[in-house]
């Protein structure tokens, strides 16, 4: 597995990570615990050294799962987790990045992940009630205390990134970025390049849509997160299949799969981009990781760019409730 550097503070990880959220949160049905542990450990065998979780996934159960699965590989892998929400009676009830809440979250994450230090700690969503300088300052203290190694932000806007980075260098920004969500290209990516911050795209396969396994007839489980996403409304899915057809055509030419082309495209954008596709199936994990062996030429990337310019993506990526949590 190829390695990539996130940020300029020294964090090196596998070129593709594994997003673990869907194993216990968001994408029902979930695998049995033993299956999930087997998948995470298979990822390590295949060279993945970067694993993503958060206290709100579950809540708490995802960190416990990741901690148990990766305990035999302590010191060999990088685990990223997140703080930033209030959790009451097992539910996420709003942002909370007050310093005391950050410390409380970190103590819980350390315990559940079975580690002495959190490798990469993200603020999960920007808290409009707490100055980002206070957040960055608290994480700076936690780094001095040896409880955290690197600081990250998630779905933060350019101004917030700059203000945080001035207090404590930001190693990575985690935000949605894929062939069907390219907004970061306008302001975020140039800012990250200027400041020396890595980008960790979540949903790099468009929440499964870019794999080619979903069409307008696909039925999701009642509790599946995608039921709340406007982009996944039946008529929007039908319209967006034009992008999937493009991926299928490219995949055929490269003797690859649509998912591999979507991930290879992301990897080709910048050497400091590390996507974290999630899956609950070992054969999909192995398929995704095959993307690191696909090289898209400059001509091919230009052809993709030209084809994309003629495809209109339909539907918002979040509903109103989730849009309110995104920093601008």
Active site residues: 57
Contact 13, 49 (CB under 8 A): yes
d(CA 17, CA 13): 8
d(CA 40, CA 297): 32
- Report which DSSP code applies to 249: H
Using only C-alpha atoms, what is the Rg of the chain? Answer: 19
Copy the structure tokens of residue 60.
């708490």
Residue 252, CA distances (Å) to 244, 245, 258, 261 in order: 12, 11, 9, 10
Block residue for tokens 């539910």:
91
User: Can you say whether the dihedral through the CA atoms of 142, 148, 150, 151 is positive or negative?
Assistant: negative
Residue count of the chain, please give it.
Answer: 328
Three-state SS at 326: coil
Q: What backbone torsions phi and psi does residue 255 show, to the nearest 5 degrees? A: 55, 50
Q: Residue 295: exposed, middle, or buried by beta-carbon count in 10 A (0-12, 13-18, 19+)?
A: exposed
d(CA 321, CA 312): 24
């Amino acid at each position: 597995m190829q390695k990539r550097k996130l940020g300029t503070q020294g964090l090196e990880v596998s070129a593709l990570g594994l997003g673990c959220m869907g194993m216990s949160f968001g994408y029902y049905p979930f695998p049995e615990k033993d299956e999930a542990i087997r998948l995470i450990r298979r990822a390590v065998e295949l060279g993945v050294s970067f694993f993503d979780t958060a206290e709100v996934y579950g809540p708490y159960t995802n960190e416990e799962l990741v901690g148990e699965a990766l305990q035999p590989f302590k010191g060999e892998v990088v685990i990223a987790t997140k703080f930033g929400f209030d959790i009451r009676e097992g539910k996420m009830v709003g942002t909370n990045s007050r310093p005391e809440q950050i410390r409380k979250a970190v103590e819980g994450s350390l315990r559940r992940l079975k580690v002495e230090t959190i490798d990469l700690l993200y603020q999960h969503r920007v808290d409009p009630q707490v100055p980002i300088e206070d957040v960055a300052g608290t994480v700076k203290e936690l780094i001095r205390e040896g409880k955290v190694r690197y600081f990250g932000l998630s779905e933060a806007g350019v101004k917030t990134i700059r203000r945080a980075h001035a207090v404590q260098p930001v190693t990575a920004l985690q935000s949605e970025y894929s062939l069907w969500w390219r907004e970061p290209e306008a302001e975020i990516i140039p800012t990250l390049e200027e400041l020396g911050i890595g980008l960790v795209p979540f949903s790099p396969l468009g929440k499964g849509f870019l794999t080619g396994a979903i069409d307008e007839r696909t039925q999701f489980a009642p509790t599946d997160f995608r039921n709340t996403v406007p982009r996944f409304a039946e008529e929007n899915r039908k319209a967006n299949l034009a992008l999937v057809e493009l991926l299928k055509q490219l995949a055929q030419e490269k003797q690859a799969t649509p998912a591999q082309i979507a991930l290879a495209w992301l990897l080709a954008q910048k050497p400091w981009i590390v996507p974290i596709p999630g899956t609950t199936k070992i054969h999909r994990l192995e398929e995704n990781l095959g993307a690191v062996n696909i090289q898209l030429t400059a001509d091919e990337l230009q052809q993709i760019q030209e084809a994309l310019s003629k495809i209109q993506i339909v539907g918002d990526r979040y509903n109103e409730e989730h849009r309110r949590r995104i920093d601008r």
